Amino acid sequence: MSGTESKVVAITGASSGIGEAAALLLSERGMKVVLGARGLDRLEFLVARIVDAGGEAACARTDVKRREDLSELVKLACERYGKLDVLVSNAGIAPISLLDDLRVEDWEDMIDVNIKGVLYGIAAALPVFRKQGFGHFVNTASTAGHKTVPTMSVYSGTKFAVRAISEGLRQEAGDKLRVTIISPGFVHTNLADSMTNPEVKAQIVGTMDKMAISPDAIARAIAFAIEQPADVDVNEIIVRPTAQG
């Protein structure tokens, strides 16, 4: 496998929050980043910022609900930089609410983005990683993927699923591919923007204002996992505010 300084890392959900922080930190550390999200303007702005700082970056409009978009993102990395070392499947939404509200479209959206988006990433990158003989999946789950609470049932379910799928992938991956689950607690990002129930949103924003940590903390955990030697597979990192119960 190539050295850390020349790693090529594709990141979904790179237009804000944790994905954006990871893009900036990994490029500061010499990695080439290939950024995907639906908001192309924000991605292009981020690419320009990275390039201005002396880094290497590319981007493509990527909706993780569309399998072909993930294939295109992986293809962009391989065509532009000759390989893909890491896929960070980070895109996620959290339109949480009580099950009694029957916000079925929100449930479907969370399943499509949070679970199927990760699966489409695996479908796009796994054959490339197998062919290369190296590769690393980093999948963003959540502390809600360890423990659920009222309003978070479906969101939690998607994050439990990300952890189960990632662990299964790790067991099937063999001795050449690495798999890391990143489970953040409350982090200051735009995640509440995806919340459709105003009362629940206000409550989450209040909790975030009280205790959430910087997305840089999660970016550092992602960098830690990536920077380990090829024979060291960091399987899961939970990073949460000290104040989070």
Ligand X SMILES: NC(=O)c1ccc[n+]([C@@H]2O[C@H](COP(=O)([O-])OP(=O)(O)OC[C@H]3O[C@@H](n4cnc5c(N)ncnc54)[C@H](OP(=O)(O)O)[C@@H]3O)[C@@H](O)[C@H]2O)c1
Given the rule CB under 6 A, which residues bind ligand X? 12-19, 37-39, 62-65, 90-94, 113, 140, 142, 184, 186-187, 189-191, 193-194, 215
**37, two tokens:** 């999200």
Based on CB atoms, which residue is closest to ligand X, 4 or 71? 71
81 part of the active site: no
Sign of CA dihedral 89, 94, 100, 105: negative
Cα separations in angstroms, 115 against 44, 121, 240: 26, 10, 22
Per the residue annotation, which of 81, 120, 129, 155 is the catalytic one? 155
Max distance between CA atoms of the chain, in angstroms, equals: 51
Minimum distance of ligand X from residue 134's CB (angstroms): 25
Based on CB atoms, which residue is closest to ligand X, 78 or 94? 94
d(CA 73, CA 34): 7
Based on CB atoms, which residue is closest to ligand X, 12 or 27? 12
Minimum distance of ligand X from residue 231's CB (angstroms): 28
d(CA 57, CA 22): 13
What residues are labeled active site? 155
